[in-house]
Structure 1
Amino acid sequence: MSGAPDSMWQGSGVDLDAYLTRVGYQEDVAPDLATLRGLHTAHVDAIPFDNLDALLGRTAVPLDLDSVQEKIVRQGRGGWCLEQVVLMAAVLDRIGFTFTAFAGRTRIRSGSKVGPALHVALCVELDGERWLHDVSFGANGLHEPIRLAEGARLDGDWPFDLVREPTGEHVLRFLRPEGPAELYGFTTDVRYPSDFELLNHFCLTHPRSPFNHRMILQRTRAKVRHLLVGTALTEIRPGEPATSRELDAAEALSAPEEIFGITLEPRDVRTLGKTLAGP
């Protein structure tokens, strides 16, 4: 079982066994809905959103599959959206799924419908239906795929729906107890790995990037979700309004490991501590 040798998603180069071990997925895999759902849930349970490289003085966040696997699979780190999509796309390609990538305009924090389309997710075609497969939006994101159709809905502990706007954009909404939160709007215009490089450069270097000047960590698990932006920690539990509190400097420095399961090298902990302390 392998992706086509010339596939742009590099399925033939992914270490599938190592990935499945990393996310704790123990079932057989096949290009079917059960596998798609199972991998989605296992991935978001195991792998946090992590922008720490941008704060640690890294001059680049490489998106080649070898680098992404080294960081997320072998080192046990998280990754930001583009890294996780590269990894997930290679895994799905290796298994034999048919899919394309698209970009979405995030609304959850900015509220803007016309901001840059920085978030990337996958549209999987399976048995005549399309599925939105998005493992990298973080604490507010999907816990399993949702059918990509107007009026589609996911119920359960973490409910979501999809609505269609007059512009033709789909909007993914997280149905919180305090009211729906629009996560991002998107069309399914196809994006390619070469597009990822441009988005990656913006996220790492642009002065208006939300990811290169403060710590952003997110983790989605079965019964609790955590989001850390700067020193503000938000906790979300099923059926309850979100709660937030400010962390002190020591708590913020220990949060990557203690809350988000990210183990850093000692030198990176020291660098992060200096970054959080500011000038």
Structure 2
Amino acid sequence: MADSMWQGGGVDLDAYLERVGHRGDVAADLPTLRGLHAAHVDAIAFDNLDALLGREAVPLDLDSVQEKIVRQGRGGWCLEQVVLMAAVLDRIGFTFTAFAGRTRIRTGSRFGPALHVALCVELDGEHWLHDVSFGAYGPHEPVRLAEHARLDDDWSFDLVREQTGEYVLRFLRPEGPVELYGFTTDVRHPSDFEILNHFCLTHPRSPFNHQMVLQRTQPGVRHILAGSTLTEIRPARPATSRELDKDELLTAPADIFGIALAPGDVQALRTVLDGP
């Protein structure tokens, strides 16, 4: 296939499909988009461990992302997962662009930096919000990109549009709607990702470089680990939280989030948890 900025020609599609457990043929259609979305979020966790362990870089080139997430069985944070997903969609033949959103959940602000990146896929004259990398609060399948669009089943979401023109993705919970992020569809390119990646890795205001942040979405349960607090979300029930001790924190990546850590990474994580 011809080269593109999304590097579809360089993705190992068979290895990716095996990693996420997707069976059957793929094509540039809505059933494939839905199937890939669900399989990806079920199999691949949000994982900030490289930043927590003090790695000097979190590479965003496709080869590095595939080595880490596909071959090593790690998770990845938003930008890594978008690089991988975009390459997969490009390889299959989807038409899409990327955009950036301003996270609202946990920040209490609508005006923070636009650090979250997702994709807008065009199919048969409609546009779909395709976001596999927001972690345990994010959608499990694409959401039609239109005012008042709604996704209803065990996990429900909707889109509202504010007077500013910004869309807001909301997670509909028993305790009330949770605003996840606001966004416009202004186009972002892979070169923009590098700036966001540097902020997430190095900036003192980054939420990802000073505590463990792991998240995973599965059909009947969602888990979020922030620092030592593990939150569990189940359909139609209020979220529950508990504190993990050091031993539980060391085993949580594998046991709860399905992240395969090398022995050296486990030891490095133990050192971080032991503190100075």
With the length of structure 2 as denominator, give the TM-score of the two structures: 0.99
Post-superposition Cα deviations, 1:197-224, rounded to whole Å, max 9, x if no partner, equal: 0000000000110000000000000000
Consecutive unaligned residues in structure 1, runs of 5 or more: none
Match of 2:50 among 37, 46, 53: 53
| Corresponding residue for residue 104 of structure 1 | 101
| Corresponding residue for residue 230 of structure 1 | 227
| Corresponding residue for residue 151 of structure 1 | 148
Q: CA RMSD in A?
A: 0.6
Counterpart secondary structure, 2:209? coil
Matches within 5 A, 1:82-121: 82-121=79-118
Q: State yes or no: 1:37 paired with 2:26.
A: no
| Corresponding residue for residue 18 of structure 2 | 21
Match of 1:199 among 186, 196, 201: 196
Distance 1:156 1:212 in 2: 34
Match of 2:244 among 219, 244, 247: 247
Distance 1:257 1:53 in 2: 15
Distance 1:239 1:269 in 2: 35
Distance 1:91 1:266 in 2: 30
Q: 1:278 Cα deviation (Å)?
A: 1.7
Percent identity, please.
Answer: 81
Distance 1:238 1:267 in 2: 37
Distance 2:274 2:227 in 1: 11
Distance 2:120 2:24 in 1: 23
Distance 1:277 1:209 in 2: 22
Aligned residue type for 1:249: K
Distance 2:35 2:258 in 1: 21
Q: 1:277 Cα deviation (Å)?
A: 2.0
Question: Where has structure 1 moved over 4 Å in runs of 4 or more?
Answer: none
Consecutive unaligned residues in structure 2, runs of 5 or more: none
| Corresponding residue for residue 7 of structure 1 | 4
Q: State yes or no: 1:277 paired with 2:269.
A: no
Number of residue pairs matched by the alignment: 276
With the length of structure 1 as denominator, give the TM-score of the two structures: 0.98
Q: State yes or no: 1:161 paired with 2:155.
A: no
Aligned residue type for 1:51: N
Aligned residue type for 1:139: A
Counterpart secondary structure, 1:139? helix
Post-superposition Cα deviations, 1:148-188, rounded to whole Å, max 9, x if no partner, equal: 00000000000000000111100000000110000000000
Q: 1:276 Cα deviation (Å)?
A: 1.4
Aligned residue type for 1:199: L
Q: 1:9 Cα deviation (Å)?
A: 0.1
Distance 2:62 2:251 in 1: 29
